[in-house]
Amino acid sequence: DQQVKQNSPSLSVQEGRISILNCDYTNSMFDYFLWYKKYPAEGPTFLISISSIKDKNEDGRFTVFLNKSAKHLSLHIVPSQPGDSAVYFCAASEGAGNQFYFGTGTSLTVIP
């Protein structure tokens, strides 16, 4: 049973444009969400987080939006850069210190 889903396995975007990566979850008890970026043969690198008390969190070029009623979150990257090309994972957890459930990832390619 996949509690966190990323339905787009890949996405291509022109440099300078907006990248929008989507994530859906099924467990309404999830209250903390993370986005990670991963290059091949490296560990996931934390990008940005959001807790369920907020609906938006922004950090530089990265913004995460949370729609609790739709159980949906998205990561916006503006403007996209070639160095952003990587696999992006969303992850969600329920409660403090509990396991994170990861989505299957979306491979982003930013075309120069």
Partner 1 sequence: EPEVTQTPSHQVTQMGQEVILRCVPISNHLYFYWYRQILGQKVEFLVSFYNNEISEKSEIFDDQFSVERPDGSNFTLKIRSTKLEDSAMYFCASAWLAGELFFGEGSRLTVL
Closer residue to partner 1, CB minimum distance, 85 or 106: 106
E-only strand ranges, the chain = 4-5, 10-14, 19-25, 32-38, 45-51, 56-59, 62-67, 72-77, 86-93, 100-102, 106-111
Find the shortest distance in angstroms from Cβ 67 to partner 1: 21
Closer residue to partner 1, CB minimum distance, 14 or 99: 99
- Environment class of 82 (CB within 10 Å of its CB; exposed 0-12, middle 13-18, buried 19+): exposed
Binding residues vs partner 1 (CB under 8 A): 2, 32, 34, 36, 41-46, 49, 89, 91, 93, 95-105
Closer residue to partner 1, CB minimum distance, 49 or 109: 49
